[in-house]
């Protein structure tokens, strides 16, 4: 029994989209018969080969349920109890994970203000100090997000500069890749080029925002910087008993460029939305539209009226900044209807 209107489209989050048909087919293909539980199945074994193909021979994947679990588990494996992580004030681990890094891992987050959601070596140095001071949590890792929570994009060179800077200080680099596929599509380079080859030590590979039913993965790129993941995944309640269904989805996403096809489409829809509104009076864009997010400020009352028809986030109510997200199944018609509604409300 179907309970929802399949024609409804929201612009709040790419999590609103359903599962990609190719992903659903992969789940169905993985069904039937028995496979050993907790990751000893043939799909999880195959996933390791697929991950190595994208990230290098040293890479190892640990499938998990969700993005928060991936971030928390990855960071926990990188740090001692007295360790701290430097991140932006807009980082998902700081603003949207309900204290999970601190409460579950016991680590300290050291946050830095940025205008575009991106860290630089200079910004990192605002908190990269105090080693050996027993009164200060020790800054031992940096976490960046690609693409960022503000929809912006690190270049390959920017990530390499951060990695070199972090490593020179004896620190480790984590990448929150909730939208890593959108970044790959926007950069036009293989995943490895802005992760493994750029010096990232460990990453959270996102799937749910790009067509998976559920599931992400912690991907260790530098084994020397992470330990205990086989135990920590269970300890943090991220070990799936029927792991074959998570692994099968990730295999599907990373096969035949599905991750790129889906992400590139989402990015194109965001570009289409921005393009339709660029010349419309009353819309002030606040960030570059590098991938599948559009940030803008609207006049008083416009967002409230639009909310009667469309779901999207009031990113900063105090400044009337909103966020519009597109996904793999957003159509040109969806975008054009939304743009027309925005234009209409601005002229009302």
Give the model's pLDDT for residue 138. 98
The verdict on 143 and 270 lying in the same domain is no
Flag whether pLDDT at 348 surpasses 80. no
Which residues have C-beta within 8 Å of that of residue 344, sequence separation ≥ 6?
none
**Taking all residues of the chain, what is their mean pLDDT, rounded to a whole number?**
97
CATH number assigned to the domain comprising residue 206: 3.40.640.10
Q: What is the per-residue pLDDT for 326?
A: 98
Between CA 74 and CA 292 the distance in angstroms is: 25
Instruction: Please count the structural domains in the chain.
Output: 2
Is 304 found in the same domain as 219?
Answer: no
**Taking each helix axis from N to C terminus, what angle separates 332-347 and 258-277, rounded to the nearest 10 degrees?**
20
pLDDT tens digits, 142-192: 999 999 999 999 999 999 999 999 999 999 999 999 999 999 999 999 999
Which has the higher per-residue pLDDT, 2 or 220?
Answer: 220
State pLDDT tens for residues 10-60: 999 999 999 999 999 999 999 999 999 999 999 999 999 999 999 999 999
Q: What share of the chain is helix, strand, coil (3-state, %, to 5)?
A: 40, 15, 45
DSSP 154-189: --HHHHHHHHHHHHHTT-EEEEEETTHHHHHHHHTS
Q: CA 228 from chain center: how many Å?
A: 23
pLDDT of 136 strictly over 80: yes
Q: Are residues 149 and 63 in the same domain?
A: yes
Pairing state of beta strands 293-297 and 284-285?
A: antiparallel
d(CA 214, CA 206): 10
Dump the DSSP string for 79-131.
--TTEEEEEETT-HHHHSSTTHIIIII--EEEEE--SSS---HHHHTTT---T
pLDDT of residue 72: 98
Q: Do 172 and 120 reside in the same domain of the chain?
A: yes
The answer to whether residues 234 and 302 belong to one domain is: no
Residues 165 and 244 in one domain: yes
- Percent of the chain topping pLDDT 90: 98
Domain final position from 218, 253, 288: 253
| Final residue belonging to a domain, choices 205, 224, 253 | 253
Is the model's pLDDT at 69 over the cut of 80?
Answer: yes
Q: Are residues 152 and 295 in the same domain?
A: no
Looking at the structure, do residues 270 and 197 belong to the same domain, yes or no?
no
Task: Write out the residue range of the structural domain in which residue 304 sits.
Answer: 258-347
Lookup: tokens for 275: 């393009």
Domain contains 14: no
pLDDT tens for each residue of 221-271: 999 999 999 999 999 999 999 999 999 999 999 999 999 999 999 999 999
Verify that 83 and 172 share a domain, yes or no: yes
Task: List the one residue out of 331, 348, 326, 328 whose CA is nearest residue 257.
Answer: 328
Query: Is 41 strand, coil or helix?
Result: coil
**Distance between CA atoms of 29 and 245, rounded to whole angstroms?**
9
The percentage of residues in the chain with a pLDDT greater than 70, rounded to a whole number, is 100
Left, alpha or beta for 255 (phi > 0: left; psi -120 to 50: alpha)? Answer: beta
Cα(141)–Cα(138) distance, integer angstroms: 9
CATH number at residue 342: 3.90.1150.10
């Amino acid at each position: 029994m179907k309970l929802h209107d399949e024609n409804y489209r929201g612009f709040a989050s790419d999590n609103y989209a359903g599962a990609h048909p190719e992903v659903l087919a992969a789940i169905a293909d993985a069904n039937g018969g028995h496979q050993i539980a907790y990751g000893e199945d043939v799909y999880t074994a195959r996933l390791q080969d697929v991950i190595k193909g994208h990230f290098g021979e040293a890479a190892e994947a640990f499938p998990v349920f969700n993005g928060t679990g991936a971030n928390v588990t990855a960071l926990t494996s990188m740090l001692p109890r007295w360790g701290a992580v430097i991140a932006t004030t807009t980082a998902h681990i700081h603003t949207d994970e309900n204290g999970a890094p601190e409460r579950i891992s016991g680590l300290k987050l050291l946050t830095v203000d940025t205008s575009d959601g991106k860290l630089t070596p200079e910004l990192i140095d605002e908190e990269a100090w105090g080693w050996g001071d027993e009164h200060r949590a020790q800054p031992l890792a940096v976490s960046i997000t690609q693409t960022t929570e503000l929809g912006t994009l690190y270049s390959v060179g920017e990530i390499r500069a951060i990695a070199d800077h972090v490593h020179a200080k004896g620190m480790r680099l984590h990448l929150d890749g909730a939208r890593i596929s959108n970044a790959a599509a926007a950069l036009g380079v293989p995943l490895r080029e802005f992760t493994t080859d750029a010096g990232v030590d460990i990453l959270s590979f996102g799937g749910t925002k790009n067509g998976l039913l559920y599931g992400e993965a912690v991907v260790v790129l530098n084994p020397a910087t992470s330990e205990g993941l086989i135990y920590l995944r269970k300890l943090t309640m991220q070990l799936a008993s029927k792991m074959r269904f998570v692994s099968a989805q990730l295999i599907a996403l990373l096969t035949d460029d599905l991750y790129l096809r889906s992400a590139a489409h989402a990015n194109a829809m965001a570009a289409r939305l921005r393009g339709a509104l660029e010349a419309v009076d009353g819309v002030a864009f606040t960030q570059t539209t590098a991938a599948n997010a559009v940030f803008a400020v609207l006049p008083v009352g416009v967002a409230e009226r639009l909310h009667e028809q469309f779901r999207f986030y009031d990113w900063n109510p105090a400044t009337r900044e909103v966020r519009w997200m597109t996904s793999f199944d957003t159509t040109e018609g969806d975008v054009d209807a939304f743009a027309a509604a925005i234009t209409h409300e601005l002229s009302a």
